[in-house]
Structure 1
Amino acid sequence: MTTVDERTRRRLSTGHVVELPLDLSFAMGGVTLPARRDRLAAILPDGLSPLAIAPGVGCVALVGIRYHRVGREVEQAGDGADGAAETGLDPYDEFAVIVPAVRGSRTDLPGAQLAGGEVGGYVHWLPVTTEPSVALGRELWGFPKEVADVTVTDGPGGVRVAVAGDGAREPVRLEIAHPRFGPKPRDWTLWSYTTKDGDLLRAKARIAGDVAIGVGSATGTRLDVPSGLADELGLWRRPLGRLYGSSVRARLFAGEPIGDDE
């Protein structure tokens, strides 16, 4: 794990200060849907290809996240200190549309991509509830965040996600039932892809916590996805799988530009 001495402090345009890598804790619920690979390829930047799960078929993850903590815990300043070492943002809710993608693979064959490429998730749309969280995502990583009326509810039977419409977009309503089998300890290292100032960036994320994974659809899962978004992504409405975690931790590292020749 990164020590405090290796951290980088960054000030956002809103005046908030954060430290990288950014420590997070949250509850999340998500569903993965099949989608047309040609539609996904049209929205991905150069250097990325949609992950193939069958000939002509890729996938999209729709995830609701309710943050408990964004940044480091508050450290009380000792005698003689200049002030408290509090960095971070107030908690917020977000809805993520993520396209699993491969970088560096020279084939589109399902399964074969994994042998020669780096797999990660390209963030296509990311509505959030606060302006500071928009500044955080856009200024540090290029995440396509925008302020919206987002509500993520972690209930006893599942996670509910609601994104209000604003005239330009239709509302989103998701009800994602908890997987049948209980959570298990997970420890993942993942890549997140974005574009910033014309560059393709990747950021490493370490995720740990008890997460439940379910295969296929389930009673209690409901997906009301706007027709425009569904058409843009070529979505099918039958879930491939679901995941849920009530107390998950993550560490998100600074993004790094990557070129086509890497």
Structure 2
Amino acid sequence: MTTVDERTRRRLSTGHVVELPLDLSFAMGGVTVPARRKRLATVLPRGLSSLAIAPGVGCVALVGIQYHRVGRETGRAKDGADGAAETGLDPYDEFGVIVPVVRGSRTDLPLAQLADGEVGGYVHWLPVTTDPSVALGREIWGFPKEAADVTVTDGSDRIRVTVAGDGDREPIRLDISHPRFGPTERDWTLWSYTTKDGDLLRTKARIRGDVAFGVGSAIGTRLDAASGLADELGVWRRPLGRLYGSNVRARLFAGELICDDG
């Protein structure tokens, strides 16, 4: 794990200060649904291709996150005292639309991509509930965050995600039943991709916690995705799998610029 001496501080346009790597804790639930690869190709930047699960078929992950802690402490930087400023944001809710992708693969064959390139997730859309969290994501990593009416409810048997509609978007509702088998302690590294100022950025996330995985939709899982979002990504609404974790921790590192030649 990174030591305190290796951390760097960043002040956001909102006046909040955060330390990188950013420490997070949260509850999360999500589903993975199949999608048409031709449609996914229209939203991916150069250098990334959607992960193929069958000929012509990729997938999309829809994830709700209820943050418990964002950074070390919660507060706003004191004027003229950056060195002693508290570092963190108030907790917020988030809904993520993420396209599993491969970078550097020379093939589109299912499974063969896994051995031929680097697997990660391209963050396509990320509505959140607070303006500081919008600034955090956009200013540091280029995450496509926007303020929206998002509610993530961690219930006894399911996690529920709702994104209210507005003049341009229809509402979204996602109910994810807890997987049948209990959670297992996991420790893994994920790569996310975004575009920032026209450049492709890769970000490492170290994730730890008890997470349960399930196959299929199961009773109690429901997906009411907006038709516009479903049409844009060519999404089928029957989940391939789902995941859930009530107390997950993550460390999100600074992004790394990726050149077109990889």
TM-score, structure 2 as length reference: 0.96
Whether 1:29 aligns to 2:4 is no
Query: 1:77 aligns to what?
Result: none
**Where in structure 2 are the equivalents of 1:60-99 lying within 5 Å?**
60-73=60-73, 86-99=86-99
Which residue does the alignment assign to 1:195?
195
| TM-fit CA distance, 1:116 | 1.5
Cα distance per residue 1:170-193 (max 9 Å; x no partner): 000111100000100011101000
Q: Could you tell me which residue of structure 1 aligns to residue 176 of structure 2?
A: 176
Aligned to 1:236: 236
CA deviation map 1:43-67 (0-9, x unaligned): 0000000000000000000000000
Aligned-residue offset at 1:153: 0.1
- Shift, 1:86, TM fit: 2.2
Which residue identity lines up with residue 206 of structure 1 in the other structure? Answer: R
Displacement after TM superposition at 1:139 (Å): 0.1
Secondary structure in 2 aligned to 1:166?
Answer: coil
Post-superposition offset of 1:82: 9.3
Q: Matches of 1:19 and 1:109 in 2, distance apart?
A: 40
**Corresponding residue number in structure 2 for 1:2:** 2
SS in 2 for 1:139: helix
**Secondary structure of 1:100 counterpart:** strand
Counterparts of 2:20 and 2:220, CA distance in 1? 38
Distance in 1 between residues matched to 2:59 and 2:115, nearest whole Å: 19
CA distance in structure 2 between the partners assigned to 1:183 and 1:207 by the alignment: 14
Runs (5+) with no aligned partner, structure 1: 75-80
Q: What one-letter code is carried by the residue in structure 2 that aligns with 1:233?
A: L
Contact 2:101–2:119 under 8 Å retained in 1:
yes
> Residues of 2 paired with 1:169 and 1:14: CA distance?
26
Letter in 1 for 2:94: E
Matched, 1:217 2:228: no
Partner Cα separation in structure 2 for residue 106 and residue 98 of structure 1 = 22
Work out the CA distance in 1 between the residues paired with 2:148 and 2:32.
Answer: 22
| Residue in 2 that maps onto 1:44 | 44
For residues 196 and 178 of structure 1, do their structure 2 counterparts lie closer, same or farther at Cα, with a shift above 3 Å needed? same
Q: What is the aligned-residue identity percentage?
A: 86
Number of residue pairs aligned between Structure 1 and Structure 2: 257
Aligned to 2:78: none
Measured at CA, do residues 82 and 99 of structure 1 come closer, stay the same or move farther in structure 2, by a change above 3 Å? closer
Which has the larger displacement, 163-172 or 84-93?
84-93
Determine the C-alpha separation between the residues in 1 that align with 2:82 and 2:260: 46
Separation of aligned partners in 1, 2:20 and 2:82:
21
Which amino acid counterpart does residue 140 of structure 1 have in structure 2?
Answer: I
Stretches (4+) displaced over 2 A: 81-86
RMSD across aligned C-alpha pairs, in angstroms? Answer: 1.5
Give the counterpart letter for 1:166 in structure 2.
Answer: D
Partner letter of residue 32 of structure 1? Answer: T
Q: Equivalents in 1 of 2:204, 2:62: separation in Å? A: 20
Give the stretch that moved more between structures: 5-14 or 81-90: 81-90
Shift of 1:157: 1.0
Cα distance in structure 2, aligned partners of 1:105 and 1:82: 44
Q: What's the CA shift string for 1:228-262, capped at 9, x where partnerless?
A: 10011101111100000000000000011101212
2:147 is matched by which residue type in structure 1? V
Q: Which runs of 5+ in 2 are unaligned?
A: 75-80
2:110 aligned residue: 110
Whichever residue aligns with residue 182 of structure 2, its letter is G
Whole-angstrom CA distance in 2 between matches of 1:157 and 1:19: 35
Partner of 1:166: 166
Aligned to 2:148: 148
User: Deviation digits for residues 192-227 of structure 1, max 9, x if unmatched?
Assistant: 000000000000000000000001110001100000
Q: How do 1:122-137 residues align onto structure 2 when only pairs under 5 Å count?
A: 122-137=122-137
Deviations 1:133-177 (A, max 9, x none): 000000000000000000000000100000000110000011110
How many angstroms apart in 1 are the aligned matches of 2:117 and 2:83?
A: 46
Match of 1:249?
Answer: 249
